[in-house]
Chains A and B, each alone.
Chain A
Amino acid sequence: MGDPLKTQRWLRAVVGTLALGAIVFYAMAVVVREGQAVLVTRFGRPLRVASQAGLHWKLPWPIDDASLLDMRRRVYETGHTEMLTRDKKNIIARTFVVWRIGDPLAFTQSIGKEEAAEGKLDGLLTNAAIGTLGGHDLSALVSTNPADLQVDQIETELLTSAAPVARRSYGVTIEQIRLERISLPEENVRAVFDQMRAERRQFAAKFEAEGELEASRIRSEADLEAARIRAKGAEEQARIRGKSAAEIAKIYADAHRINPELYRFTRSLESLDKLVTGNTSLILRTDSEPFSLLQSKEKR
């Protein structure tokens, strides 16, 4: 065990040093976080800007004062602005910007509060948009022809037009300006609706006509194909019949050539057989066969 008096003195010294150190630290240290900057002023006069993250020092208040600034990027959407394109079309455009504080001192001096920056940007951007879009046709914004579209170029022109002014006048760095919406004035939308309606009717009629045409074509082709198949079948039938007739003629000719007289005789008898039907009346002489047999007996 040590001397209690010594321990008490040692404790008093440690606590006193720590308390004093803490007071001095909080009065003089400025911790700048990533994404922040600090503007140090001495009796209100800007002294320096610390934009690197880390521990920075200043003299205690009221000699030096430190104002922390949020250096993060922000998004701001402008209002809807009606403007005229080069081909005299009325459009309503809306843009958005991605911006950040680029020069903390200039920003603090010209704008002061971060909330006020967007009001300044709105006017700047609207002015830039009217000037830029007035130099392009509407087809540069919306077109099915890729060669007409110039949105990238327009956005670059907007940036080129607005960014230097924003930096110089307000200490604001504009990193992107994009066209967010492109609309038409209300009265023009009515005309667009009429045009769309007419187009739809045209499409409907076109579909109907094309469907009818296609159906007719398919039916005609089927009919033609069917006729072609039937004709080919008929041709085949005729060929078979002809070949068969020739073969039959040859068979008969080969047989009948052996005894033409017998053929003529049997053929005559066949003809007789065919010609005499149930409606036939025969007139025979009594001296013809077989009735002649009776006459022969009488004579005998």
Chain B
Amino acid sequence: MRHVATSSEVGRLAAPIARGLDAAWQRMHWWVATMLVLYTVSGTTIVRPDEVAIVLRWGRLVGDTAAQQEHGPGLLFSFPRPMDRVIRVPVKRVWEVPVTALAPAAALDDEPMSSSTLDPLTQGYALTGDRNVVHVEIVARYRVRDAAEWAFYGPQSDNVMRVEVTAAVVRSIGEMGVDRVLADGRKDLAATASRRVQAGLDGAHAGLELSSLEFTRLMPPFALAADFNAVQSAYISAETRRKEAQAFAGTAVPQARGDAETGVQSVRGAAEGDRARADGEAAAFLALDREYRANPAVVRERLYRDAVERAIAKAAGVRWIPPPVNGRYSGFRITLGSGGPARAGFDDEKP
């Protein structure tokens, strides 16, 4: 009896709700059915080309390995919330974070700071291994490597990237001398720092992969810029002097080689000429000898007279004197002129 009374009491209280439900069903049954269908397919997700999707079912990651957990681009069917939750991770996209913790504060607006000191709280810098100071500005590029780790366990990407890069660069610069850092060691610095950044990211379970580390600014303090430039100028000047000396060497040696060769060729030519002349003269002498053996007196006379005639013809003057009396001359003088021909004559001659 009590049970019947209770049931009828509930029925009486629920009657208005039941009537409202009945009326709604009469008028909106298609609309309700459509909403149910839409809710059922609401778990369907489109995964874009640069993304992978991971599915949480009642909060737990679906799949044991990365291959099972990650769903590539395309249509992904899952149960509607609250049962499933799809998280899309842009694993192909490369993110970029500027690291300015080691740059001077004014570097960002390009106003040179030439103070004779640096406040470490406001001015960023790194100490080199030989305890010099350099300013560094870096851009780190990275992407997501492990979607699940990045999405659920890793620290905030930009934060972890910024501090890992700063720490890695500070440590790497702290192992190198300032001249290596600023000149020929940049490549090594980037390689060492990159390796350390990746090790740090792995240690922090960030699920990130460093794509590149670019030093956009690596320089001495502004206050020392002139001193560093002076070293550069001295280096260039020394290089110029060395190159000038090399140019001199490049000219002097070939020139000496040319001079020597020219001299040798000249002497060789002269020797050839002398030898040819000697051959000719020897041949002439042999010919003369043949004639001389045939007619010695005539040849000798002719040669003698020819020679005397040539001598007389060439001479500035010829003085004929009589033969000496009793083998000696008396009153005969020869006067040597200054710059002119000598004069000869007897004392009793008129000038």
For chain B, the count of residues having a C-beta within 8 Å of the partner chain is: 132
A24 within 8 A of partner (CB) = no
Contacts of A262 in B (CB 8 A): 285, 288-289, 292
B204 within 8 A of partner (CB) = yes
Q: A34, B56: Cβ atoms under 8 Å? A: yes
Contacts of A226 in B (CB 8 A): 252-253, 255-256
A280 within 8 A of partner (CB) = yes
Cβ-defined partner of B323 (8 Å) among A53, A259, A269, A286 = A286
Q: Once bound together, how far apart are the Cα atoms of A62 and B206, in whole Å?
A: 38
User: Which B residue's beta carbon lies closest to that of A219?
Assistant: B245
Q: B318, A200: Cβ atoms under 8 Å? A: no
B317 within 8 A of partner (CB) = yes
Interface 9-mer from A122-130, A164-172, A287-295: A287-295
Contacts of B175 in A (CB 8 A): 142-144, 146, 149
Q: B315, A73: Cβ atoms under 8 Å? A: no
Cβ-defined partner of B239 (8 Å) among A75, A211, A221 = A211
Nearest CB of chain B from residue A179's CB, rounded to whole Å: 6
Instruction: Tell whether A225 pairs with B133 under 8 Å between CB atoms, given A182-B174, A233-B261.
Output: no
From A185, A204, A252, A259, name the one whose CB has the most chain B CB atoms within 10 angstroms.
Answer: A204
- CB contacts under 8 Å to A, within B214-260, are 220-221, 223-224, 227-228, 230-231, 233-235, 237-242, 244-246, 248-249, 252-253, 255-257, 259-260
Nearest CB of chain B from residue A98's CB, rounded to whole Å: 4
- CB contacts under 8 Å to A, within B85-139, are 85, 101-102, 116-121, 124-133
Q: B317, A281: Cβ atoms under 8 Å? A: yes
Cβ-defined partner of A258 (8 Å) among B154, B206, B289 = B289
Interface 9-mer from A39-47, A103-111, A113-121, A271-279: A271-279
For chain A, the count of residues having a C-beta within 8 Å of the partner chain is: 118
Q: Once bound together, how far apart are the Cα atoms of A179 and B82, in whole Å?
A: 43
Count of inter-chain pairs, beta carbons less than 8 A = 364
User: Which B residue's beta carbon lies closest to that of A98?
Assistant: B204
13 sampled A-B residue pairs with Cβ under 8 A: A34-B60, A34-B151, A182-B170, A193-B117, A211-B238, A218-B246, A222-B253, A241-B270, A251-B275, A262-B288, A263-B285, A278-B314, A280-B316
* A residues neighboring B (CB under 8 Å): 8, 11-12, 15, 31-36, 52-55, 71-75, 77, 80, 92, 96, 98, 138, 141-146, 149, 151, 175-176, 178-187, 189-190, 192-193, 195-197, 199-201, 203-205, 207-208, 210-212, 214-219, 221-223, 225-227, 229-230, 232-234, 236-237, 240-241, 243-245, 247-248, 251-252, 254-256, 258-259, 262-263, 265-266, 269, 272-273, 276-287, 289-291
Given contacts A142-B175, A144-B176, A178-B163, 17 further A-B contacts (CB under 8 A): A33-B85, A34-B152, A35-B153, A75-B155, A75-B204, A144-B175, A145-B129, A211-B238, A222-B248, A225-B249, A225-B253, A226-B256, A230-B259, A266-B303, A281-B316, A282-B311, A282-B315
